[in-house]
Structure 1
């Protein structure tokens, strides 16, 4: 391989902020933050959804709304087409 053209492939700590789950994997992602985990310093990447919080893997329905999009939608459209309204 040519020297100097490939990104650095290193261990990175990913932190799922929705449930405080952390895992280490190898990645080339660039990050400015670092964190000490189990006595070693790793680059830190914060994520909102991982296998520990995604409904497909957990079997639980959870709305992830960081920007108020769901509330904005409900204000605009109300409960049109919701399951409770359709059942009536």
Structure 2
């Protein structure tokens, strides 16, 4: 590996998914202002709005719309055609 090209602030960071309140420990260089204390150790904390722990695609709650069905509903609701 080349010397001097790697970041200096590479450390363990806690990523918290705000939607599910779950936490992920990962090494990162992300800048954080918050900290969290877990088992008497202080870690930098980065809060995420969405992650694979709460996104509908990853947790199996994604709903597909039937386009033909929604067009028919619209037409019947507003008496189109």
TM-score higher than 0.5:
yes
Matched residues in 2 for 1:61 and 1:21: separation? 20
Matched residues in 1 for 2:55 and 2:68: separation? 22
Q: Secondary structure at the match of 1:7?
A: coil
RMSD (Å) for aligned C-alpha atoms: 2.5
Residue 2 (structure 1) aligned with residue 4 (structure 2): yes
Matched residues in 1 for 2:70 and 2:22: separation? 36
> What TM-score do the two structures reach when normalised by structure 1?
0.64
Residue 35 (structure 1) aligned with residue 36 (structure 2): yes
Tell me the matched-pair count: 68
The structure having more radius of gyration, on CA atoms, is 2
> What TM-score do the two structures reach when normalised by structure 2?
0.69
